[in-house]
Amino acid sequence: MPDETIRSILNAVPLPALFLGEGDRIIGQNTRAAALFGAVEDRPFITVIRQPAVLDAVAACRAHGPGKNGEAAKTVRYTGKDGSLDVIYKVHVAFVTAGPATGVMISLTDVTHEEQIGQMRREFIANVSHELRTPLTALMGFIETLQGPARDDPVARDRFLGIMSHEAQRMNRLVSDLLSLSHVEEMGRVRPDTRLDLTDLLGSVLRNLGPLAEKEGGRLVADLGGQAVFVEGDADQLRQVFGNLVENAVKYGGRPAQVEVVLRVIERDPSLRGPALSVTVSDNGQGIDPVHIPRLTERFYRIDGHRSREMGGTGLGLAIVKHIVNRHRGRLRIESALGQGSRFTVLLPRVS
Ligand SMILES: Nc1ncnc2c1ncn2[C@@H]1O[C@H](COP(=O)(O)OP(=O)(O)OP(=O)(O)O)[C@@H](O)[C@H]1O
Ligand SMILES: [Mg+2]
């Protein structure tokens, strides 16, 4: 029979918790455990969690009995389901002496989030290593060639040094993008508070990138409205945002690239719940298949990795853009259809 005392103690635990009496029968559960497992009182524990690691921990806990402090605790991992999602729990198993009654108390902590962070960190390190290894391998190969077969060949030497410089620049860009990403992440919680004229800032970005577009015979067209409009922002970071969007539009746009940058004043934007400014960068490229759109802002995600690398891209640009826009409490929207170019819109809260 479930004991009221046990149940009331379990209900004071802020985690799903069960109490196992003799023969590992569940003699108490709190409401959080009921939400997770359903009503399981009076049932054998093995019918609730079948994972051997957890069952072994319970057996070991019983064999050990009360420890030095009257309890022995074990922590094992248990994978459960929440709808279609896997949830990872750390299961804490402890021997409990409650007056004449003894038993095992089980409590579960959801560690899914920490596990995901760990997984992301591992993937990130693997990606960085891979991205650095490619140019590094090329550099090492050329150094070897220059020390050996091409030692006395001035023509080959010049050519190889050119390639080596290109690869070294790529590594340099990667490292500065990584530093910039970590810097933006670090500042993520601090809201920028310098009042800036966005028209002016966009003008300077476009002046700097004009030559890049013209190099390929392309064109940058701007409609900035002409009047000063203000946001609270970090000028360097906002330049980075629009710089990357315009650069992408030129790089991945059509040939010749036709890039349009439009700044609009929005009286009230529902998603920002207030006055806003929108900056749209559109191009005449091949467009982006909708399957890629949600993933574009992931670090190192590229649609055509080969093409991006060839153009010196690190695949970190849009990840940095997203972080900066979030820091400014703004929104990034990507719209595109294959064959119809792409539109990247940044919405920022407007101040007077
Ligand atoms: N305007 C666009 N049209 C089509 N594809 C785009 C456009 N902008 C970005 N992409 C795709 O999204 C990917 C990620 O862009 P992102 O800016 O993050 O990286 P990158 O441009 O490859 O490198 P970096 O910006 O670090 O130099 C690109 O590799 C490209 O495949
Ligand atoms: Mg880019």
Residue whose CA is at the smallest distance from ligand 1 atom 17: 317
C-alpha of residue 86 to centroid of ligand 2, in Å:
34
Global pTM? 0.76
Q: Over 50: is that where the pLDDT of 1 sits?
A: no
Q: Over 70: is that where the pLDDT of 73 sits?
A: no
- Average pLDDT value for the chain: 89
C-alpha of residue 139 to centroid of ligand 2, in Å:
24
- Reported as type and span, the H/E element at residue 349 is strand 342-349
- With beta carbons less than 8 A apart as the criterion, state whether 46 and 55 touch: yes
Q: Where are the domains of the chain?
A: 4-110, 114-186, 191-352
| pLDDT (0 to 100) of residue 64 | 81
- Is the beta carbon of 229 within 6 A of some atom in ligand 1? no
C-alpha of residue 28 to centroid of ligand 2, in Å:
57
- Is the beta carbon of 318 within 6 A of some atom in ligand 1? yes
Q: Which CATH superfamily is domain 4-110 in?
A: PAS domain (3.30.450.20)
* 227 phi/psi in degrees, rounded to 5: -95, 160
Residue whose CA is at the smallest distance from ligand 1 atom 19: 315
Closest ligand to residue 309's CA: 1
| pLDDT (0 to 100) of residue 67 | 63
Tokens 């900056």 found at: 279
Most confidently modeled of 42-51, 65-74, 302-311? 42-51
| pLDDT (0 to 100) of residue 80 | 74
Q: Note the pLDDT tens digit of each residue in 211-243.
A: 888 887 888 999 999 899 999 999 999 999 999
- Distance (Å, rounded) from C-alpha 19 to C-alpha 109? 16
What's the rounded mean pLDDT across residues 269-287?
Answer: 94
- With beta carbons less than 8 A apart as the criterion, state whether 27 and 41 touch: yes
**Is 191-352 in the same CATH topology as 114-186?**
no
- Distance (Å, rounded) from C-alpha 74 to C-alpha 93? 5
Closest ligand to residue 319's CA: 1
User: Is domain 114-186 given the CATH code 1.10.287.130 in the classification?
Assistant: yes
Q: Over 60: is that where the pLDDT of 171 sits?
A: yes
- Is the beta carbon of 341 within 6 A of some atom in ligand 1? no
Fold category of 191-352 in CATH: Heat Shock Protein 90 (3.30.565)
C-alpha of residue 248 to centroid of ligand 1, in Å:
5
